[in-house]
Structure 1
Amino acid sequence: MKFGTNRARVFHRALGLLANRHDAEEVVAAAFFELWRKRRAVRLVNGSILPWLLVTTVNLSRNARRATSRNERVMRTLPRTQAVSAPDAAALETKDHLTNALQRLSPADGALFILTASEDLPLAEAAEAVGLKPSTARMRLHRAVAIGVGGSHSLRQQPARLLSSTTFPGQPRLPRWETASP
């Protein structure tokens, strides 16, 4: 196959058609892969595979240009994203307070708080999700709020807004069988 002797010519053909070095390298790799894949059916011209490689490179380059064109067309039709304003200092402080408080809870209690405050699940559904009875879940949620998870005034007013933009390390949503506790 003589990769070394034909690679430069195939690369220059692809680069001339694509004008992007990285795309040209991908086309060269694809052309040689096709040569290897179809090695039993490739027609040699005067004992050389170069003509077959060049034709394959031209076809692959055209496909790459069409794909790029389609992708750019789709990207132009997508709505532009608006800049998101930075959160204010009070929101960051509240978020830190909430994160610290949730880390002090057990995984089941933290998941219970997140499910009820952020995901707006009814207490009965949240309790079932973490493997607790509704009465036990109510008591644990009350205790979580009492120790400071929802203790500040701003947390009581807008817990869903704060939780929706917050990730809580160590507080995954665990399957029921992993959260059941006495």
Structure 2
Amino acid sequence: MARMQPELRKQELIEIAFRQFLQQGYHKTSIRSIVGEAKGEIGMFYHHFSSKEEIFHEVLEQYNKQYINKVKNLIAKENKTPILELMELVFSDLEDSLYEYAHMNRGAVNKQMLTLLHQQTLLTLKPVFCDLLKERILRGEIALPEVDIGLLTDFLLYGISAVLHDQDEKNIKAKEQAIRLLMIKMLEC
């Protein structure tokens, strides 16, 4: 049997781990179950990763990159869609992503790592949303007083994130409605 290239094998382990973390959560996923599904040996795993936490970190980073690419593609595809409708499309996809992300993180041991990955996602999304706002201002779709677009983007992204992650309010639809009303007011749409 031909050996798989190391980078392909590593990616296969990441994809298997992603699927298992998503289905079973962090705690119930084991290195043995990942390797077993890959039809490999424990040594193969340790050739690529030092621990379950390391592969979990890699899974989350790839998950976040995929989400950011999805947002970029959605914004590019829906170029002519009014800003509020576009944001609703982003939010509807975000609801599914948040569910998957929360399910995958059940039992995760390092909450600080999850927080850092979330912050990295927001930082990576910032230029995407800055460009979006600048474009929509130039089109005349958004009317703003003179304001620093970077600060406005921070306020939107971090504010939206705070509302979405609020543990007191469980209803995602109520959260989306509150965000929509605030955006209408802020962006004068």
TM-score normalised by structure 1 residue count: 0.23
Whose RCO is larger (CA < 8 A, sep 6+)? 2
Larger radius of gyration: 1
Whichever structure has more helix as a proportion of its residues is 2
